[in-house]
Structure 1
Amino acid sequence: MKESKEATAVKAKPKLSTHIRYVVLALIFVNIIINYMDRTNVSIAMPEMAKDIGLSTVQQGLIFSAFGWIYAAMQIPGGILLDKLGSRITYTISLFFWSVITVFQSMVGNFGQLLGLRLGIGFFEAPVMPANNRAVSYWFPDDERGTAIGIYSSAQFLGLAFSTPILFAIHKSIGWQGLFIVTGVIGIIWSIVWYVIYHDPQKSRWIGADELEYIQAGGAITEEEFIKEKNQQPKAKLTWSNVKKLFNRRLIGIYIGQFAISGTFWFFLTWFPTYLTEAKHINFLQSGMLSSIPYLSAFAGVILAGYVSDRLLKGKHSESFARKLPVITGLLLTLLIMGANFTTNPVLIIMFMSIAFFGNGLATITWVFVTALAPKELIGLAGGMFNFCGALSSIVVPIVIGFLVANGNFSSALVFIAFIALLGALSYIFIVGKIDLPKTNEN
């Protein structure tokens, strides 16, 4: 029955009267660009800000990690809130308030003030990634979801690739205070745009009946299924039964993998500009241009991972092979980040960084495992748990690197990043194991 529905959906695809799901994907894409722009602006401002308000490398590491402290702690409450309010309202509230706090960062004068504001941004950004996953689960059928997740995940890299040189230029032109003001105002405006345009499929005024039928026949979550599951059992609550569902072997494996993947990302998001300017002595504006190359590489990795994974899944390959191949390959490629320890040539440094970040991009498709492995009624909560484990790396990695580079040498920091990437690859190989699951997302 499921197969016949999917076959009908595939045949109907070329004749659809609307393609609103792609508009929704574009909205999510912009959301993530703004989200990561507001995470990375502090790393661009940090070299000059540290001098202005007097921050040691250990304090800088604490500032970089402060976002993750409360971001990780709020993943479970954020997932519960998301399942109650939905992506539209949750995202609007989050985006508006973290953007206001971004503006306030332009007024800091000491370590404590900056630390408090970074905690505030982490608080309001907590539901973001689960909200993205929920929206895609509602708007995309099974055999398009991997590509959709790959596209929206790529926004963090593509957005940073093009925005980083611009942010460096803004900083150079109007200082770190102006940088926070500009990025914050952009987010405030976009929160209004999101609220006005986004709706779930059955509440959208623009979607055609044939597109709605197509995505639902293809396995997208429907409002009826949501209500049915909600009435049948407690939804997104931390009951003992739900806790056991969230900590089966395969989910634990992807939690470990997400920590490893996020660890590499948080190096690039926090310490990378300082690495280029302070450790490799590349001038400020040149660092802005060079730092965009690894982000573009990661973007290419994400797009390739989603496309290849979906193509393999549509063919005769198992879901286990199709979904895990890009992740494991990407984590192993990340080990090449250590190559930068053996050269002072800027071209070779960027080459090693780009290969490592390309691998990180390949591995970032892991959100597809949340949809594939988590019970439907717990997608928001499972997504929160998954993102919580990734967020732990945003706490651990910046602080550890802050201590490792206290003597000005980044070599041990790159070895540390490679080590946790290897742990992630081993987790997907031996702990997650084979995941040949039916596409109904049921455990």
Structure 2
Amino acid sequence: MNITKGSLETPPAGFPSDIARSERRTVVRYFVLAFLFTITAINYGDRATLGIARSSISADLGLSPVSMGYIFSAFGWAYVLNQVPGGWLLDRYGSIRVYGGSLLAWSLCTLAIAGTGHVPNSWAFPVLFLLWAGLGLVEAPAFPANSRITSSWFPTAERGLATSIFNSAQYVAVAFFAPLMGWVTQRLGWEYIFAMMGLLGVLLAILWLVTMRPPAKHPSVSNAELTYIREGGALVDIDDRTKQTKQKLTGKQIQFMLTDRTLLGVYGGQYCINVILYFFLTWFPSYLHQARGLSLTQTGFAASVPALCGLLGAIIGGAMSDRLLRAGRSASFARKAPFVIGMGLASTLCFCNFVQSPLVIVAIMSLAFFGKGVAAIGWAVISDIAPKEVPGLAAGIFNGIGNVAGIVTPIAIGYIVALTASYNGALLFVAVHCLIAILLYLFVVGKIRRLILPA
């Protein structure tokens, strides 16, 4: 920073001043990121519980596969429908309180499911359906909150890696929680995995609400760190209600959030990348077991390998994006390049249609999921472009549209497999979405910059 009489030259957004760089500063933001990562892993672990325990629950409670299918869908519908209201709650009441309340509520839902084994079988379906829908409803603010908190704690030049790290918790949940919960279910019973995850979430919720504060009010944050992240483009005062001007969104502003070209492109890109995610979460194990002849034990191990590759890809993609920013490349290039490269790699999963070796198939799927991880830069993008007045609402719309894939993908692939008696069309379905996502980021998403709401 150069200071001359009567003038002050400020650094460009995303890069802190010389003063902030030269002073000794704390790194509390990384402890906050570790907290977000842990909570997100619990979030996805809770979502995995019902899938792990499905067979045991069906046998104990007398639930047919059709009934379980309806129960699985309950989460997706409730989760999507509460995205926009959840984003509004974040903007209205602040990230820390809403996130902590959400974590506590979904943990209590998970705990309650542990008790469904004691209800009469005639009540099992409606009780489990409502509890699983409730889980989706109260988990809805979680990812928008992650995005909002990351926006307030991390400068632009570090935000890509930060969002990739908390987003990569989903791969950790698949790779590590699933085998653990399978072991607990086999040794102790399915009720114990819900009790275990629920109690862990309650403890985390209490710890979060007691210890977390915004950057400007956190007792462990030094002035140097606060200056560093503020000058770097972090929305430090995002939850400071004394510095916010309360205003009701006009119809024109709501229309902007739903029709702006850049926002639509980013929303669509998130939908497409989630098609890959939900294929892996729902149909990939069945593909390995039914179409490729792997045993259930082999399927469990094989399914964890792409998840670990996705974790590696997510970290590499975020680091690549931030490094490009620090090297002086534009935000548009730094954010779009990992997405386009990653989705290109993800589209290679359709090559499994031309090979027979299970080992080669797992290798191709691992490459595809690695690419999906590299491309998982969408949360950094929405953090970069969301109007500063409504970051929670923007993240809610983004996550809501993205998770429509969780409703569409399992149903669409189910019909494809039923009509063709093959998974080849299913893999093409996913690969086409990868190519559509690339086109959206190249030709629909405009310049990556903070958008301004119309007056």
Report the TM-score, using the length of structure 2 for normalisation. 0.88
1:321 equivalent in alignment to 2:321: no
Contact 1:320–1:435 (CA under 8 A) maintained in structure 2: yes
1:266 aligns to what?
Answer: 278
The structural deviation recorded for 1:290 is 2.2
Greater mean alpha carbon deviation, residues 176-185 or residues 92-101? 176-185
Distance in 1 between residues matched to 2:13 and 2:422, nearest whole Å: 58
The Cα offsets for residues 17-37 of structure 1, whole Å up to 9 and x where unpaired, read as: 311111100100101100011
Out of 247, 256, 264, the position equivalent to 1:234 is 247
List alignment gaps of at least 5 residues for structure 1: none
1:102 aligns to what?
Answer: 110
- One-letter identity of the residue aligned with 2:49: N
Contact 2:49–2:181 (CA under 8 A) maintained in structure 1: yes
CA pair 194-281 structure 1, distance change in 2 beyond 3 A: farther
2:440 aligns to what?
Answer: 427
The structural deviation recorded for 1:4 is 6.2
2:144 aligns to what?
Answer: 130
Distance in 2 between residues matched to 1:328 and 1:259, nearest whole Å: 15
1:410 equivalent in alignment to 2:449: no
Distance in 2 between residues matched to 1:49 and 1:123, nearest whole Å: 22
Contact 1:64–1:270 (CA under 8 A) maintained in structure 2: no
Out of 296, 316, 320, the position equivalent to 2:308 is 296
Distance in 2 between residues matched to 1:43 and 1:340, nearest whole Å: 25
Greater mean alpha carbon deviation, residues 174-183 or residues 88-97? 174-183
- One-letter identity of the residue aligned with 1:394: G
2:129 aligns to what?
Answer: 115
The Cα offsets for residues 163-183 of structure 1, whole Å up to 9 and x where unpaired, read as: 222222223322333322222
1:177 aligns to what?
Answer: 191
The structural deviation recorded for 1:386 is 0.4
Distance in 1 between residues matched to 2:100 and 2:15, nearest whole Å: 36
Greater mean alpha carbon deviation, residues 27-36 or residues 403-412? 403-412
1:31 aligns to what?
Answer: 39
2:64 aligns to what?
Answer: 55
CA pair 176-403 structure 1, distance change in 2 beyond 3 A: farther
CA pair 7-73 structure 1, distance change in 2 beyond 3 A: closer
1:41 equivalent in alignment to 2:36: no
1:390 aligns to what?
Answer: 402
Contact 1:43–1:274 (CA under 8 A) maintained in structure 2: no
Give 3-state SS (helix, strand or coil) of 1:297's partner.
Answer: helix
Out of 25, 30, 37, the position equivalent to 1:17 is 25
2:235 aligns to what?
Answer: 221
Distance in 1 between residues matched to 2:67 and 2:413, nearest whole Å: 11
Contact 2:155–2:234 (CA under 8 A) maintained in structure 1: yes
2:166 aligns to what?
Answer: 152
CA pair 61-354 structure 1, distance change in 2 beyond 3 A: farther
The structural deviation recorded for 1:374 is 1.8
Out of 217, 225, 229, the position equivalent to 1:211 is 225
User: RMSD of aligned C-alpha atoms?
Assistant: 2.5
1:90 aligns to what?
Answer: 98
CA pair 167-387 structure 1, distance change in 2 beyond 3 A: same
The structural deviation recorded for 1:332 is 2.0
The structural deviation recorded for 1:225 is 9.0
Structure whose residues are more often helix by fraction: 1
Distance in 2 between residues matched to 1:24 and 1:253, nearest whole Å: 30
2:387 aligns to what?
Answer: 375
1:282 equivalent in alignment to 2:294: yes
- One-letter identity of the residue aligned with 2:25: S
The Cα offsets for residues 295-354 of structure 1, whole Å up to 9 and x where unpaired, read as: 111111111111111111122322211110111122222222223334453322211221
Greater mean alpha carbon deviation, residues 204-213 or residues 29-38? 204-213
The Cα offsets for residues 250-289 of structure 1, whole Å up to 9 and x where unpaired, read as: 1001111111011111122233334434444433343332
1:81 equivalent in alignment to 2:81: no
Distance in 1 between residues matched to 2:287 and 2:127, nearest whole Å: 25
Distance in 1 between residues matched to 2:332 and 2:272, nearest whole Å: 20
- One-letter identity of the residue aligned with 1:130: P
- One-letter identity of the residue aligned with 1:395: I
Distance in 2 between residues matched to 1:307 and 1:10, nearest whole Å: 23
The Cα offsets for residues 144-189 of structure 1, whole Å up to 9 and x where unpaired, read as: 1111111111121133322222222223322333322222222122
CA pair 201-289 structure 1, distance change in 2 beyond 3 A: same
CA pair 276-192 structure 1, distance change in 2 beyond 3 A: farther
Give 3-state SS (helix, strand or coil) of 2:447's partner.
Answer: coil
Identity of aligned residues (%): 38
- One-letter identity of the residue aligned with 2:442: I
Contact 1:312–1:322 (CA under 8 A) maintained in structure 2: yes
Report the structure number with the largest CA radius of gyration: 2
The Cα offsets for residues 125-148 of structure 1, whole Å up to 9 and x where unpaired, read as: 000011011111111111111111
Report the TM-score, using the length of structure 1 for normalisation. 0.90
- One-letter identity of the residue aligned with 1:240: K
The Cα offsets for residues 177-220 of structure 1, whole Å up to 9 and x where unpaired, read as: 33222222221221112112211112211111211111111111
Distance in 2 between residues matched to 1:134 and 1:253, nearest whole Å: 20
Contact 1:39–1:269 (CA under 8 A) maintained in structure 2: no
The Cα offsets for residues 79-104 of structure 1, whole Å up to 9 and x where unpaired, read as: 11011221211111111121222233
List alignment gaps of at least 5 residues for structure 2: 1-8
Distance in 1 between residues matched to 2:184 and 2:373, nearest whole Å: 27
Contact 2:11–2:17 (CA under 8 A) maintained in structure 1: no
